[in-house]
């Protein structure tokens, strides 16, 4: 994982580990048996599409459940819906490396998939949880220099630094050079090497010689089957010098920004305003805006307005001029690479006593066909008695099951239940947060007075606030939830939306 960058363009907060995309910041080489090599970047594409949360939602999730992401991953595996990624590679040769706009060995740069497509070559599935967290997680020792024959290194400066330093890191963290003897780090097949003795050694080779060559008949290096370095250094980099494009700090940042949908661009601006609002010094806030001017004027304007700057600063002097000709890349947008169904997501169903058992049953049945998960949120954890006399158990008490924990919500109440929730601040927060976070909201007709009391008036209810009356409306609601968010709503309920729209125009 140390060589993987997780992309989270939509305000940098993932909805779940299951919906995150990973790609290597480093450039490696693939080497054939006859010694031919090609550059490679490794990618992990989530099988269920990309997804993220908004900033305010992330803050509330952290308060409601600090283990939210880990729990989501654990629960998905335990329920048999194993999180899955496709393993892909970007392959390119020296000719492409020499013609690319930036140095391919610069770990701060990406190669757009429009220029070098990602070829899917395998699957990465997490289908079991650890038996012992300490033994299998706390003691695991990742090292970038641990590669198999067929994978080689390049002169990527950050990768070379990690290859040098990570061994020291594990020696210090695990207290012994023999951390490879721990079961979680040990090879799965027999290995012969000359490493022996030392603190906590669990396996030592027999024989008198622990060096090569020797005449005692010990293990020998095998040039045919063992690891071989790629014999030719990268063209033009034999002096280990960095190209001038390493100094271009803004061009790909601009490319990333213009690759986002408008709402994602707004989120990036909002996130910068949020973080810089925590900065006490006005001159530092101005300096960041000066850097943003080298990326995109509208972004800098949104941030400057959000911070209330008295004047727009001058652009920060750039070592290399920003390239304005780099085209947008759709693969950099989370929203453009989202799911095509609600499968694998979670619906929060708020119920009260006397609520329609038929509606709840049809909703649960529809979710099960995807499959998608759900939780019942009730006034008490014991659950609620529905209108047919059946008791539906609660997964969460309303105080402990806020809507930020769910991808969409349904509110199925009786008339008396709606009156009761009208007086409950936590219940009103449940629906208010879902509305503010642009989530899809399904509701029974009896829940309308509750929505009104919570501040969601009839004129506020948009196409993503859907009345649930029968199986057809329920199926339509679940199908619509595949979009995950109704982003048009955010432009109506967010104080910063006016400044964003003005800057865009």
Q: What percent of the chain has pLDDT over 70?
A: 94
Distance CA(241)–CA(261), nearest Å, equals 37
Angle between helices 282-292 and 297-307 (to 10 degrees): 160
Residues 53-87: tens digit of each pLDDT: 998 999 999 999 999 999 999 999 998 889 999 99
pLDDT tens digits, one per residue of 218-242: 666 676 777 777 776 555 455 556 7
CB 285 within 8 A of CB 307: yes
CB 200 within 8 A of CB 177: no
> What pLDDT is attached to residue 86?
96
Out of 38-52, 111-125, 231-245, 334-348, least confident range: 231-245
Please tell me the distance from the alpha carbon of residue 353 to that of residue 419, in angstroms, as a whole number. 12
* pLDDT tens digit sequence for 114-137: 999 999 999 999 999 999 999 999
pLDDT score recorded for residue 6: 35
DSSP state, 247? Answer: G
- What are phi and psi for residue 45, nearest 5 degrees? -105, 120
4-14 average pLDDT score? 44
434-444, pLDDT tens digit by residue? 999 999 999 99
Residue 308 clears pLDDT 50, i.e. is over it: yes
Q: What is the per-residue pLDDT for 10? A: 37
How does the average pLDDT of the chain come out, rounded? Answer: 90
**Annotation: CATH topology of 340-483:** Rossmann fold (3.40.50)
pLDDT greater than 50 at residue 3: no
Query: What is the rounded average pLDDT of the residues 483-492?
Result: 94
Whether residue 201 has pLDDT greater than 60: yes
- In which band, very low, low, confident or very high, does the pLDDT at 33 lie, cut at 50, 70 and 90? confident
Q: In which band, very low, low, confident or very high, does the pLDDT at 5 lie, cut at 50, 70 and 90?
A: very low
Residues of the chain with CATH 1.20.1370.20: 250-336
Q: Does domain 250-336 have CATH number 1.20.1370.20?
A: yes
Residues 469-482, mean pLDDT to the nearest whole number: 97
Residue 141's pLDDT is what?
A: 94
Q: Sheet containing 408-412: which strands, arranged edge to edge?
A: 396-397, 373-378, 346-351, 408-412, 441-443, 465-467
Please name the residues in contact with 442: beta carbons below 8 A apart, sequence gap of 6 or more.
Answer: 363, 408, 409, 410, 411, 466, 467, 468, 474, 477
**Rg of the Cα trace of the chain?**
27
Percent of the chain with pLDDT over 90: 76
- Domain(s) labelled CATH 2.40.180.10 in the chain stretch across 4-181
Q: Which of 214-223, 248-257, 261-270, 422-431 has the lowest mean pLDDT?
A: 214-223
Has residue 12 got a pLDDT over 70? no
Superfamily of domain 4-181: Catalase core domain (2.40.180.10)
Which residues are bridge partners to 87 per DSSP? 44, 122
pLDDT at 208 over 90: no
Point out the least confidently predicted range of 20-29, 144-153, 223-232, 357-366: 223-232
């Amino acid at each position: 994982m140390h060589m993987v960058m997780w992309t989270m363009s939509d305000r940098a907060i993932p909805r779940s580990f299951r919906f995150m995309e990973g790609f290597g910041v480093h450039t490696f080489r693939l080497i054939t048996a006859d010694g031919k090599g090609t550059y490679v970047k490794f990618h992990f594409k989530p099988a269920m599409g990309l997804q993220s949360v908004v900033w305010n939602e992330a803050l509330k999730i952290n308060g409601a459940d600090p283990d939210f992401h880990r729990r989501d991953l654990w629960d998905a595996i335990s329920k048999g819906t194993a999180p899955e990624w496709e393993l892909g590679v970007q392959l390119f040769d020296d000719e492409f490396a020499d013609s690319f706009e930036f140095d391919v060995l610069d770990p701060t740069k990406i190669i757009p998939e429009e220029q070098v497509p990602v070829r899917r070559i395998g699957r990465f599935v997490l289908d079991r949880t650890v038996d012992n967290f300490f033994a299998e997680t706390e003691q695991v020792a990742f090292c970038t220099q641990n590669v198999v024959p067929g994978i080689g290194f390049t002169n990527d400066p950050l990768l070379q630094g990690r290859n040098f330093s990570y061994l020291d890191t594990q020696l210090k963290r695990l207290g012994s050079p023999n951390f490879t003897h721990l079961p979680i780090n040990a090879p799965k097949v027999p290995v012969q090497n000359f490493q022996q003795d030392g603190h906590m050694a669990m396996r030592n080779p027999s024989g008198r010689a622990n060096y090569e060559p020797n005449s005692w008949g010990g293990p020998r290096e095998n040039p045919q089957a063992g690891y071989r370095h790629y014999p030719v250094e990268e063209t033009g980099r034999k002096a280990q010098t960095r190209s001038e494009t390493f100094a271009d700090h803004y061009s790909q940042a601009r490319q990333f920004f213009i690759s986002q949908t408008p709402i994602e661009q707004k989120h990036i601006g909002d996130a910068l305003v949020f973080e810089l609002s925590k900065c006490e010094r006005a001159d530092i806030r101005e300096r960041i805006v000066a850097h943003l001017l080298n990326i995109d004027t509208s972004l800098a304007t949104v941030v400057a307005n959000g911070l209330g700057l008295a004047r727009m600063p001058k652009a920060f002097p750039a070592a290399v001029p920003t390239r304005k000709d780099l085209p947008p890349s759709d693969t950099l947008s989370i929203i453009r690479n989202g799911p095509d169904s609600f499968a694998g997501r979670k619906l929060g169903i708020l119920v009260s006593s006397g609520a329609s058992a038929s509606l709840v049953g049809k909703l649960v049945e529809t979710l099960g066909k995807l499959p998608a998960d759900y939780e019942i949120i009730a006034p008490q954890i014991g659950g609620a008695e529905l209108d047919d006399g059946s008791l539906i158990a609660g997964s969460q008490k309303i105080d402990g099951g806020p809507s930020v924990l769910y991808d969409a919500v349904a509110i199925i109440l009786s008339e008396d239940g709606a009156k009761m929730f009208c007086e409950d601040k936590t219940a009103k927060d449940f629906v208010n947060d879902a509305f503010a976070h642009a989530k899809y909201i399904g509701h029974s007709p009896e829940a309308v007075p509750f929505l009104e009391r919570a501040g969601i008036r009839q004129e506020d209810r948009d196409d993503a606030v859907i009345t649930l009356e029968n199986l057809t409306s329920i199926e339509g609601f679940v199908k619509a939830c595949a979009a995950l968010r109704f982003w048009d709503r955010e432009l109506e309920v967010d104080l910063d939306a006016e400044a964003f729209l003005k800057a865009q125009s």
